[in-house]
Amino acid sequence: MAATLVLIEHDRQQVKRPSLHAITLARQLGGEYALLVLGHGLDAIAASLVSCGASAVIVADDAALAEPLADRYAAVIAQAAQKYGAKTLIGSSSTFSKDILPRAAALLDAPMVTDVLALEEVNGERAYRRPTSAGSMLATVKIEGDRCVLTARATAFEAPAADAAPCPIERFDFDPASLPNGMQFISREQRASDRPDLTEARVVVSGGRPLQDPETFERLVGGLADALGGAVGATRAAVDAGMAPNDYQVGQTGKVVAPELYIAMGISGAIQHLAGIKDSRIIVAINKDPDAPIFQMATYGLVGDLHQLVPQLIEAVRRG
Amino acid sequence: MDFSWSDQQRELLDAVDRFAKEQLAYDMIENDRHAVFNHDAWMKCAGFGIHGLLVSEEYGGLGQDPITTVAALERLGYGCKDNGLLFSINAHMWTAIIPLVYNGSEAQKKKFLPGLCDGSIIGGNAMSEPNSGSDAFSLATTAVKKGDKYILNGSKIFVTNGPIADVLLVFAVTDKSKGASGLSAFLVEKDSPGLDLTHKIEKMGVRTSPMGEVFFTDCEVPAENLLGKEGAGSWLFTRSMTWERGCILAASVGTMQRLFETCIRYANERKQGGQAIGKFQQVAGKIVDMKMRIENSRHMLYQCAWAAGHRKAIYLEAAMAKLQISESWVKCCEDAIQIHGGYGYMVEYEVERELRDAIGSKLYSGTSEIQRNIIASLIGL
Amino acid sequence: MKIVVPFKSVPDPYAGPGAAAKSVVNPFDEIAIEEALRIRERGEATEIVGVTIGPATVDEQIRSALAMGVDRALRIDDSRALDPYAVARILRALVAKEAPQLVLMGKQAVDDDSNQVGQMLAGLLGWPQATFISKIEFLENKTRAQCTRETDGGLEVIVVNLPAIVTTDLRLNEPRYVSLPGLMKARKKPIEVLTCEQLGVTVQPLTTTLSTARPPKRAAGTRVESVEELMVKLKQEAKVL
């Protein structure tokens, strides 16, 4: 039995680090928690999770789960939650969790709170703080009943220590033949990149529409990111203009990042973009327009032409 | 006269407001400098329903009455800074579509109106000639019937939309002996043999509206493209010109309103000697006069459109509206520059362009002097 | 094929600060409506039914949907502050009544940002789902749909059996502009009003928003004049390099 199940995400090779941050929310909730991993060929991944302070690592390992198809995954997660008597199901805010967990919530007849930022207590009752309206508002939300599904904003919770005594790995048995079969995986875009993942990087360099074309974007944004060992992000406008792939998008509907250093180049600062960066420790904005809204939240603002300033900056960083 | 809007009119006008603000707010400085006609915006306006506002639904329009139409154009002028585009649209609506709506045969309407409404056909009107301007009926362009065709010879000048037109309403002399009653109107399509539309004219304002000279050299026009009867040209011209006068500056009322609001903002922000310049009587007075001119213009526009919608003769109303709006527009622009000071004279502030765009309104569709002549004759002088 | 498009009325997210909060169709739902229209225009759908939940004040957004080209619209009259799970349960009843082959909807509402309803509805109905899509094509005589999904790791392609729930991401299409002819036609289209009782559903929202607050503003920092000065600040003051 475990009060809480934390869904762990992986890319078949290794655990996705931001998904571990959901464990911190589970700890704050109190009570025992178990980690739940779904997939196929999970031995190494399961083994990497035993020191996270969970009561168990529950592994649903089957060829039928080789790809994260929502109908099957939600069904297995709901079965596991029922079997282990878990009242709370947590994942980190990612497209993986957002695809699967609401479906699991419906199967469990449980309400759900997306993008939890913090726990609160209101009149002695538990409540959850979450952002709404592209982060321009913070709502405090209460849940009726004892069951719920949560996703945790990874940037709002620390990575948990992984120094606990190893916990058991338990195999979760289910009948693959009973799973829904209405969805079929076809392909996934594979892009090799030596750069760190956007949501995990210590430094993120992002570009907006003034970068003009994919070549300039790569030369200036990519160039600076590489000099700093950082990840590359982009605004919706830059993505829409074909300068960067869609999964580089940072903001309300893209990724939320909170690196040590965020450098915004040619980004005016639409609220939808700012929603995704405002928890960064240091924000540097470089923009031609001195009135760009981004300057109102940047730690350091530099007004000027990207095409001149960024090569200088790359050079300065390389010199050290 | 009741100028309060019904719920349906309000919904339509609000939609035009939003459309202009969201779809037509493009940068104008470069387009003006290089005299670029924004065909994309033209198609957006047509697709949105502007071109066909007055045309009945069976020919692809919206079947709106004149007052709703001018109010919609006013909203368009408020939201869209491209006075050239607006001028092209107005020329298209009032000088090509209106004559077809009122005088076209069923076949002509079926052939041209749907395309004129959806924007795929650009229309214009060719009346003025190098030696015939305000004296509109002293035309030299001739049309001679030969079998099932008319053969046109001559030239036209100041043809709005000429270089981009798909069909032009051309006025030509079919019987010189009959004077004004010897004029006829033809729908000349751009691929007619002997037609040359390629001569662009560069102008001071509304530069994004293409204007050209048009040459006819044994230009062949099928007889079925005669609009109305032979000899009906001058009546038809007068009728269409009355509509044109009364309504072509509808968008300018919106333009003035926008300029007026810009001036208020500027006068409240700009400080001299420690106070906002709007507190200076001379500046405030200019803006108050602007307000008076705009309200007078709007009222005359609506009055004219209301009368047209109630099938009343609008010769007087149209000439008065034209005179009032054009002169108000130019004066508003001058004052706006004066209020903005040196900045107003700079291209970047986009006020000087408004003046250049406005000045032509005192010339086209009858000069201010002609409007005064018309008004004088109609009030018994 | 019949398509049901549930949509939500939200405060205009692009209204400037201080502007009166006008309501609009949730932008993601607008993308769903547009896609449904395109599917119908390709001849792959015969009817598009728009559905929303709310009081009569949302009729204006319903008319926007009708003006875009939705064939008919339903409003489920309920003015309570519903949570996504309640909305999903109401929509389940509606979908059972309408029996579409496809439910297309936005991946999230831009006011609430929950991103739950489509997935919950799919779970309740036991239908396949394709979330966050940027492309959809029908296969095998419209018995299946191939969808490209935008995920954190890049694009993913899946095939779902129909009927299915599909939720739209930003790059699926650019919604058309509501034209005046569309607006005029919309006036003639019916808006059917239903109550939860008529649909036979009783739901109570299980989440309640107790309060909302503006997040603390990030203080504006300092302007630097040159790359050199920026480097000094990053190294010595911020200590990030």
> Per residue in B273-312, pLDDT tens?
899 999 999 999 999 999 999 999 999 999 999 999 998 8
Confidence band, pLDDT 50/70/90 cuts, at residue A67 = very high
Range of the domain at B84: 7-122
In three state form, how does the secondary structure of chain C look? CEEEEECCEEECCCCCCCCCCCEEECHHHHHHHHHHHHHHHCCCCCEEEEEEECCHHHHHHHHHHHHHCCCEEEEECCCCCCCHHHHHHHHHHHHHHHCCCEEEEECCCCCCCCCCHHHHHHHHHCCCEEEEEEEEEEECCCCEEEEEEEECCEEEEEEEECCEEEEECHHHCCCCCCCHHHHHHHHHCCEEEECHHHHCCCCCCCEEEEEEECCCCCCCCEEECCHHHHHHHHHHHCCCC
CA C155/CA C134 separation, integer angstroms? 9
Q: Subunits touching B (CB < 8 Å, at least 3 pairs)?
A: C
Is the pLDDT at A316 greater than 80? The verdict is yes
Tell me whether 0.90 is exceeded by the ipTM.
yes
Examine chains B and C and say if they touch (3+ CB pairs below 8 A): yes
Half-sphere exposure (CA, 13 Å, Cβ side) for A174?
28
Q: Which residues of C touch A282 (CB under 8 A)?
A: 234, 238, 240
Report which residue type is found at C87: V
**pLDDT, chain B, mean:** 95
Instruction: Report pLDDT for C61.
Output: 94
Token pair recorded at residue B1: 């006269």
Asked if B323 and B269 sit in the same domain, the reply is yes
Can you tell me the distance from the alpha carbon of B210 to that of B92, in angstroms, rounded to the nearest whole number?
12
Residues B374 and B254 in one domain: yes
Residue of B98, B97, B182 lying closest to B142 (CA atoms): B182
Q: Tokens representing C9?
A: 């009325």
What helix, strand, coil percent values describe chain B, rounded to 5? Answer: 55, 15, 25
Give yes or no: residues B226 and B288 share one domain: no
pLDDT of res. A197: 86
Q: What is the DSSP letter of A218?
A: I
Residue A218 lies in a domain: yes
pLDDT at C28: 97
Q: Give the other-Cβ count within 10 Å of B106's Cβ.
A: 8
Note the pLDDT tens digit of each residue in A180-197. Answer: 999 999 999 877 778 888
Give me the catalytic one of B244, B317, B352, B354. B244
CA-nearest residue to A187 within chain C is C157
How wide is the angle at C-alpha B201 spanned by C-alphas B196 and B205, nearest 5°? 145
* Average pLDDT value for residue range B131-144: 82
Q: Are C180 and B8 inside 8 Å of each other by CB?
A: no
The strand pair at A88-92 and A4-8 is best described as: parallel
Confidence band (pLDDT; 50, 70, 90) for B179?
Answer: confident
Cβ within 8 Å, pair A316-C231? yes
Pseudo-torsion of CA C122, C124, C125, C129, nearest 10°?
10
What's the CA gap between A270 and B318, in Å, rounded?
Answer: 47
B229 conformational bin, left if phi > 0, alpha if psi -120 to 50, beta if neither: beta
Across A104-108, A174-178, B136-140, B191-195, least confident range? B136-140
Distance from CA of B66 to the nearest CA of C (A): 16
Within a domain: B343: yes
**Chain A residue numbers touching C233 (CB-CB < 8 A):** 300
Q: Which amino acid is at A263?
A: I
- B244 is an active site residue: yes
Write the CATH number for B145: 2.40.110.10
Residue at A219 is within a domain: yes
Joined together, the tokens standing for residue B361 give 């309104």
Read off the tokens for B185: 């109107």
Count of all residues that appear for chain A in the document: 320
The answer to whether the CB atoms of A106 and C85 lie below 8 A apart is yes
The domain ranges of chain C are 2-237
* Ordered alpha helix ranges (H), B119-249: 233-247
- Would you state the pLDDT for residue B136? 64
- The verdict on B75 and B14 lying in the same domain is yes
**B364 and B261 fall within a common domain:** yes
**Which amino acid would we find at residue C30?**
E
Give the number of domains in chain B.
Answer: 3
Taking an 8 Å cut-off on Cβ atoms, the answer to whether A71 and C154 are in contact is no
- Tell me, yes or no, whether B114 and B149 share the same domain: no
Total domains in chain A come to: 2
Contact A140/C210 with Cβ under 8 angstroms? yes
The C-alpha atoms of residue B212 and residue A184 are separated, in whole angstroms, by 62
CATH number of residue A251's parent domain:
3.40.50.1220
> Whole domain around residue A307: which residue ranges?
203-319
Question: Do B143 and B93 belong to one domain?
Answer: no
Q: Say if residues A303 and C228 touch (Cβ distance below 8 Å).
A: no
Residues A167 and A207 in one domain: no
Specify the fold of C2-237. Answer: Rossmann fold (3.40.50)
Interval B216-249: pLDDT, tens: 999 999 999 999 999 999 999 999 999 999 999 9
Q: Tell me whether the omega of the peptide bond preceding residue B193 falls within 30 degrees of 0, making it cis.
A: no
Tell me which residue of C201, C221, C229, C218 sits closest to C91, measured CA to CA. Answer: C201
What's the one-letter identity of residue C31? I
